[in-house]
Structure 1
Amino acid sequence: MQKTLKSIAGEVGGTLLGSISDKTMLAQGVSTDTRSLYPNQLYVPILGDRFDGHDFLSDAVKKGAVAALWQEDRALPSSPSIPLIRVKDTLEALQQLAAAWRREIGVKVVAVTGSNGKTTTKELLGSILSVKYRVHRTQGNLNNHIGLPLTLLSMPRKSEVAVVEMGMNHAGEIALLSQIAKPDLAVITNIGEAHIEHLGSRQGIADAKLEICEGLAQQGTLVIDGDEPLLRERLVKEKRRYIRVGWKEDNDDVLQGFATEGLEGISFTTSLTGSRFTLPMMGQYNAKNALLAITVGRTLGLTEEELQQGLNQVHITGMRLEKVTATNGMLIINDAYNASPSSMRATIDLLSSLDGFKEKWVLLGDMLEMGPEEEAYHREVGRFAMEKGISRVYAMGARGRWIVDGAQEVAPEGKAIHFQNPEEAAQTLLAEGNEGVVLLVKASRGARLETTVEHILKGAKTF
């Protein structure tokens, strides 16, 4: 974002406090964190539960901030050394500024939400669309009421397409993000159990995900997991165009001829064009993520050849089916970025399908925000792993005990074990693992299973 302070004040309904000449000063970008602030950026102090960004104004000045927003219920500093723009609420002002920048540069916006696969689908979209367009996309997990505005405000003026991820914990949050971003295309990857603690049921989750339509353009397009009845039944009266993709034969585009290439990736055909695509990512569920991205690409005018070129160059961020080899030769598939019951089952299915290994093990951890049924969900995952032929089920965390308990209901003695800490887990896995073993590691991000992986991988090589 590049704007004068006068323009910023007008767009957020604020009052510029400074000299007359300050009106023409140019802000080049926005930051809410003085630790990563660059010179000439606008500093936006946010109020958190345990901090107040206004307390760090002096740090922003030292870092070279050109100006700062200032919430009107906070006492003004006695002699600020940079101009301040006084606003009713700094967070709302940040969101208003992001919406204004999105309107000003006229970029096409593709928004992505869903219980599982949001980030993977965002990366697939970014890779595909960058073949034809100048693409700006969400970095990391900047997908909430602060992260999404920062994503939009970091768009270069010459951007042609923005791919933004929308996350949530509670009802109403995606509606707000959609109203800020005003997407031209929206994607819902699936409906799982993540955040069911806050939303009460899968029906509640579906309603929350469909809030992405709140800001969707009247001539916009919605692309959905067509295998999910909860989405279909809620879209019966939808007037805007929506496209259903998936495995079921009555979808608008059907995945066919799925094949796995072992650790190298997958391939599939889409019924709409008969084109066959290859994807350098493991997992049958990633075929649907890819088809969602392909559908958006087709909608934005890419050829089948350009779509394949985009799939070929995709790069997925860490801890998402990341393959590494431990010092004892054991292959580790690190998918510890996040987890829900449905994504646990999907990755266990993937592990079960791999050939060339004498034994297949899992190291699983807590699934968070599962609500009152959390024990049943964890036990079911343990049973499922054993029923899929997994040789050993290991788990960590307080909820991980339920996974082991579930596995032990159907497992031979000694095949399901709970570890007390990362050191104990690493010691056992290094001692007993070998080149004939593949280990899947998966849990909610808050379980921090990556710490265990780090212990195992001292001296490991990635590939």
Structure 2
Amino acid sequence: MLLSDIQKATKAELISEETKTIEIDELLIDSRKIANADTALFIAIRGSHRDGHQFIADAYKKGVRVFLISEKIEQGLYPYASFLKVNDTVAALQQLAAYHRNQYHFPIIGITGSNGKTIVKEWLFQLLSADYKIVRSPKSYNSQIGVPLSVWGIEAHHNLGIFEAGISQPGEMNNSEKVLHPDIGIFTNIGEAHSEGFMNQRQKINEKLALFRQTKELIYCKDHHELNESIVQYAHQVRNNPDNPLKLFTWSQKSDATLRIHSIERENNVSVIKASYEDKERTITIPFIDHAYIEDAIHCWCVLLLLKLDDAVIAERMLHLHAVAMRLQLLHGMDNCTIINDTYNSDLTSLQIALDFLEQQRQHPRKTVILSDMLQMGKPDRDLYEEVADLIHQKNIYRIICIGPALYKNKEAFRKYKKLRSIFFKSTDELLKKLHMITFENEAILLKGARSFRFEKIEKLLEQKIHKTVLEINLTAIQHNLNVYRDLLPKGVKTMAMVKAYSYGSGSYEIANLLQFEGIDYLTVAYVDEGVALRKAGITAPIMVMSPEAAAFDRMISWKLEPEIFSIDSLQSFLKIANAFNEQHYPIHIKLDTGMHRLGFMKHELDALIAELKNNNASKVVSIFSHLAGSDAADFDGFTEEQAMHFNEMSKYLKDALEINPLLHLVNSSGITRHPELYYDMVRLGIGMYGFDGSNKIQSQLRHIGTLKTTIAQIKELPKGETVGYSRKGILKHESKIATVSIGYADGYFRDFGNGIGHMLVNGQPAKIIGSVCMDMCMLDISGIENVKVGDEVIVFGNDLPVSTLADWAKTIPYEILTSISQRVNRIYVNE
């Protein structure tokens, strides 16, 4: 779009020395994710955690010359740049997207609801790609920013759009409606997700219905009673316009509907769904038995019927629906490699998202992309793969391995970039035969393949074989929890994140990478070796070491790690090494003991501390802190007040005597939620970031970050009276079906959970542990649970069986459960 058209769409004031004929192809909201700077518009969005205006200089340095802003800018700092000034950059982005959408007149499908939006969107793409050139939301871009960014992807060759839209507070859907103007609507369902900003369910439904103000047909399930009532009322009252009626395409298992579902039969992991539509009996079979997937599939069926696809075509395509991978997976590979598995989408937008994630993996010097042909893109192959090659080149990829006839035919698009190593295969099988000839070592590898290329075969060969039991860590959930706490902090208060103890059992550099990318101010580890490992993995953020050993001070200085100093002995030992290294003003953190009585200077030791610091320039106090003993409980609030009083007195005494102004920090996760008066300059975020609020004030806002999974190794049917496990403690009181699973106390699963105390989830149902927990395995009673087979996944803890429940069984705290998970348990990281 021309700059002049963008100015017209956003009603912006143009501040520019350049011509209005500049053409913009790319919209940017993150200065770290720039692909084509020459044709990019950087939109400075002011959020709750960051202000995009602070990153204009960074984007300018990387070549961006056009900016959408809402604050006054010193133009002289940015020669030859153009600025579009508006009151609200988010509103302007929405206006720009609405203007762009209105240039096209093909049908748009708009999807809203509490759950299933992304699955329905992706399945519709699978089902309709043979008939339409489709543009759709990348991943789950359904927010006030995500919707307009999605619509910006519309191009001239498209003839169908599928977009999802969500809301978190009243009024937001009006903005999305102006951007999308959907012709066909889908309301998937209504639930508790994102209910915080609404008075009740009815209000939330009505707010979401605003998306369908101009829609011709609305698809939904009548069996959701409150949803049905609201939609019928909306259709007859709000949309009571003979010239623009809203037609309701309903489906139901309970009553008459446009599509009347007569039966759903589940067997052998498929569901046969029989229904009637327009006085004709119709049947589909889908390869899923989960209730939510069945509901999503029926919504899609309604769309296909509405678009008048033939029954035989519908049945064939429904039978071959495949699961949607909702997130990127980060896996440990052979020979110190990291694998990023992304088979979610196969298009340019999702490739760029995956490359941005790959770029965050700073622990590896080299990066490789294994890419398949992009199917059903609608662009000429030559244009498409020249664009792909340019994107790969801009991201400084070391090597690309291309698989598929289209990529093979377009080798020259990649080979014109001399620094990019490119290898081509006509098929996945051809690569697999020659994979042993390609060296993968100490690098990050992105697998980006269309489903038909079956890249899981490549993943299995590259992935490190550690253990069938895995701990799946959701990086998006950590990011969410971090932002929940950041929202509580006043502007200017810094955040220190705890990544000690292997990030509470969650991982090391993977978590630190995410936090560094999110702009955390400080990272904290317990021991020097943890900090050194992070530095070796490419972490450059400041790192404080909480329990430094005097013998390791030289390594700390070499790796730019900052020690916690808690005694005169520790200070003297550090200063001795720092002087030997000729250091000047090396950053240190002074720990005060205000009542915890673990580590730290007591009040009577401060004069000796001051004397040591005054007589030596080798160090510089960058922070003074202490530790609250009972911040999570109201019973200890009086003691917390005493600690704060001591901290104020002691820190002021140090600051005045040394004439310094370091950062002060006192509160941990519970302190953040319960003691906002004690924020000072920085807060320390630990277990809260990993999904647990010790004060229980904001637990409902936090997300669980980890799912521990194992598999069934064997199933036996045993008669009444038999015993299971060591010491014959598991006595069967009736004929039972017993499953042996691949986890034991050597993996960190407590022996306390044995003999019926604990359970795991098999097919979503609780299965009690029978007998004692063994070193490498334990046994579950799966009697009464249907369709269980060897190799099935078992949930040890996760969303439906939280870590806190396991902690209750063991009469301990979630920290101990998380940090007990053995290092032999493979960690897999997912990014939604």
Residue 86 (structure 2) pairs with residue 74 (structure 1) = no
- Deviations along 1:349-399, whole A, 9 cap, x unmatched? xxxxxxxxxxxxxxxx99xxxx99979xxxxxxxxxxxxx9999xxxxxxx
Letter in 1 for 2:295: K
Distance in 2 separating the partners of 1:316 and 1:154: 21
1:131–1:306 Cα contact (<8 Å) kept: no
Letter in 2 for 1:124: W
Secondary structure, counterpart of 1:128 in structure 2: helix
Letter in 2 for 1:37: I
Cα offset, 1:429, TM superposition: 11
* Selected match of 1:240 from 204, 227, 246: 246
* Selected match of 1:317 from 309, 325, 328: 325
Cα offset, 1:313, TM superposition: 4.6
Distance in 2 separating the partners of 1:429 and 1:97: 60
2:147–2:165 Cα contact (<8 Å) kept: yes
Distance in 2 separating the partners of 1:327 and 1:138: 36
Larger radius of gyration: 2
Secondary structure, counterpart of 1:169 in structure 2: coil
Tell me the TM-score normalised to structure 2 length: 0.41
Give ranges in structure 2 of 5+ residues lacking alignment.
Answer: 236-244, 329-343, 345-455, 478-690, 702-735, 740-752, 762-772, 781-789, 804-813
Letter in 2 for 1:57: I
Secondary structure, counterpart of 1:175 in structure 2: helix
Q: Please, which moves more after superposition, 276-285 or 27-36? A: 276-285
Change in 2 beyond 3 A, CA 1:137/1:391: farther
* Selected match of 2:778 from 432, 446, 455: 432
Bigger RCO (CA 8 Å, 6+ sep) = 1
Residue 30 (structure 2) pairs with residue 33 (structure 1) = yes
Distance in 2 separating the partners of 1:212 and 1:68: 30
Distance in 1 separating the partners of 2:89 and 2:467: 52
Distance in 2 separating the partners of 1:23 and 1:108: 32
Match of 2:440 in 1: none
Secondary structure, counterpart of 1:277 in structure 2: strand
* Selected match of 1:255 from 244, 254, 261: 261
Q: 1:55-454 counterparts in 2 under 5 A?
A: 55-71=54-70, 73-80=71-78, 81-214=80-213, 216-217=214-215, 220-237=216-233, 238=235, 239-263=245-269, 265-272=270-277, 273-311=280-318, 312-318=320-326, 413-416=756-759, 431-432=777-778, 435=790, 438-440=793-795, 443=799
Change in 2 beyond 3 A, CA 1:29/1:305: farther
Letter in 2 for 1:281: F
Letter in 2 for 1:307: I
Match of 1:458 in 2: 826
- Deviations along 1:196-249, whole A, 9 cap, x unmatched? 3332333233223323223x33xx111112111112222334141011113223
Distance in 2 separating the partners of 1:250 and 1:454: 55
Distance in 1 separating the partners of 2:69 and 2:163: 27
2:94–2:175 Cα contact (<8 Å) kept: no
- Deviations along 1:42-72, whole A, 9 cap, x unmatched? 111111112111221232233333511121x
Change in 2 beyond 3 A, CA 1:319/1:38: closer
Distance in 2 separating the partners of 1:122 and 1:176: 20
- Deviations along 1:83-140, whole A, 9 cap, x unmatched? 1222222111100000011111223211111112111111112222222111111112
2:471–2:825 Cα contact (<8 Å) kept: no
Distance in 1 separating the partners of 2:56 and 2:223: 50
Cα offset, 1:188, TM superposition: 0.7
Letter in 2 for 1:255: I
Q: Please, which moves more after superposition, 227-236 or 139-148? A: 227-236
2:202–2:230 Cα contact (<8 Å) kept: no
Distance in 2 separating the partners of 1:152 and 1:335: 28
| Number of residue equivalences | 382
Deviating 4+ runs (over 6 angstroms): 322-328, 330-338, 371-375, 389-392, 427-430, 451-457
Distance in 2 separating the partners of 1:65 and 1:335: 33
Distance in 2 separating the partners of 1:175 and 1:115: 17
Change in 2 beyond 3 A, CA 1:189/1:337: farther
Letter in 1 for 2:11: G
Letter in 2 for 1:458: N
- Deviations along 1:278-318, whole A, 9 cap, x unmatched? 22334133222111112122223432334345432544023
Match of 2:423 in 1: none
Change in 2 beyond 3 A, CA 1:437/1:11: closer
Distance in 1 separating the partners of 2:174 and 2:473: 33
Letter in 2 for 1:415: G
Change in 2 beyond 3 A, CA 1:243/1:22: same
Change in 2 beyond 3 A, CA 1:169/1:331: same
1:166–1:177 Cα contact (<8 Å) kept: yes
Distance in 2 separating the partners of 1:256 and 1:228: 17
Tell me the TM-score normalised to structure 1 length: 0.70
2:471–2:827 Cα contact (<8 Å) kept: no
Give ranges in structure 1 of 5+ residues lacking alignment.
Answer: 339-364, 376-388, 393-407, 419-426
Letter in 2 for 1:11: A
Match of 1:349 in 2: none
1:123–1:314 Cα contact (<8 Å) kept: no
Change in 2 beyond 3 A, CA 1:44/1:305: farther
Change in 2 beyond 3 A, CA 1:197/1:54: closer
Q: Please, which moves more after superposition, 157-166 or 94-103? A: 157-166
Change in 2 beyond 3 A, CA 1:333/1:190: farther
Cα offset, 1:430, TM superposition: 6.5
1:123–1:315 Cα contact (<8 Å) kept: no
Match of 1:359 in 2: none
1:46–1:52 Cα contact (<8 Å) kept: yes
Secondary structure, counterpart of 1:116 in structure 2: coil
2:467–2:825 Cα contact (<8 Å) kept: no
Amino-acid identity (%) = 22
Secondary structure, counterpart of 1:244 in structure 2: strand
1:132–1:302 Cα contact (<8 Å) kept: no
Distance in 2 separating the partners of 1:429 and 1:189: 45
Distance in 2 separating the partners of 1:240 and 1:25: 42
Change in 2 beyond 3 A, CA 1:391/1:25: farther
- Deviations along 1:246-282, whole A, 9 cap, x unmatched? 322322212233222434x433123214332222334
Distance in 2 separating the partners of 1:456 and 1:252: 54
Cα offset, 1:443, TM superposition: 2.5
- Deviations along 1:154-209, whole A, 9 cap, x unmatched? 22222111111111222222232122211111111111122333323332332233
Cα offset, 1:145, TM superposition: 0.2
